[in-house]
Amino acid sequence: MYDIDDASYAEYRRKRVQRLKKIIPVTILIAILIPLTCSVIFILLYAHSRRQYDELNARYEELLATMESLRENISSVPEEQDVYSVSEVTESERDYDEYADEVYQENSPVDAADDESDVRRVYLTFDDGPSDTVTPEILNILKKNGIKATFFICNYDEKTKPMLKREIDEGHTVAIHGYTHDYDVAYASTDAYMENIQKLADKVYADFGYKAFTTRFLGGSSNTISEKYCDGIM
């Protein structure tokens, strides 16, 4: 009887040792693979973030260079280029001419009384803001050089709201680009387009008491974008 029990116990130990021999290498392999995999993921994420940072930094440097070039060459702009193009929005149910005349004196970037024919001007416009990273840099450069600009804005939140307030407080013109920049939504219909403008204009007025009456079409003032979604908007 004892011999049989001893034999069973010996078999049990043998099988247990065999299982441990299989488990130990697997455990060691897992212990190596987990930190190695995490390291690879971290390196890939870092490389991706670095590329994004480099791209944004390159765009930022390009913007600074462009603005500096404009500032240095503003006096050499030909007189025939002295044009201030404004995209006008009309709607059958509402006459915007009277509304624009009413607020023009409040928000006009140029005083008509001081507009001499021999004065050469370049009008700087910026689309798609406000941004809590790029907009402050632009405003700093404009303020440093005593330049006013027009900002065609999209919807903003509490984080970017101070940037919009600064644009207004520093005498820049705030204009409407659209509550949303999603072409599918903004160009779904004529009514949808007008609502996309009016919704943001109402929000700006409610937050700052500022009447924005100028707009710029999403995707540009040609109909190469809007016609893909809805005919007749332009």
Q: 188: which 2 tokens?
A: 């779904």
pLDDT top residue among 111 and 58: 58
Residue type at 224? T
Q: Quick check: 160 and 132 in contact, CB under 8 A?
A: yes
pLDDT per position as a tens digit, 50-104: 888 888 888 888 888 888 777 776 655 555 443 333 444 444 334 445 555 555 5
Angle between helix 134-145 and 161-169 (nearest 10): 10
Give residue 70's pLDDT: 76
pTM of the model: 0.52
Print burial letters for 157-171: b (CB count within 10 Å at least 16), e (below 16): eeebeebbbebbeee
The answer, yes or no, to whether residue 208 has pLDDT greater than 70, is yes
- Structure confidence at residue 20 (pLDDT): 78
pLDDT at 106: 53
Look over the chain and give the mean of its residue pLDDT values, rounded to a whole number.
79
User: Dihedral (C-alpha) 222, 227, 229, 234: value to the nearest 10 degrees?
Assistant: 60
pLDDT at residue 109 tops 70? no
Can you give the C-alpha Rg of the chain in angstroms? 32
Residues 132-180 pLDDT 10s: 999 999 999 999 999 999 999 999 999 999 999 999 999 999 999 999 9
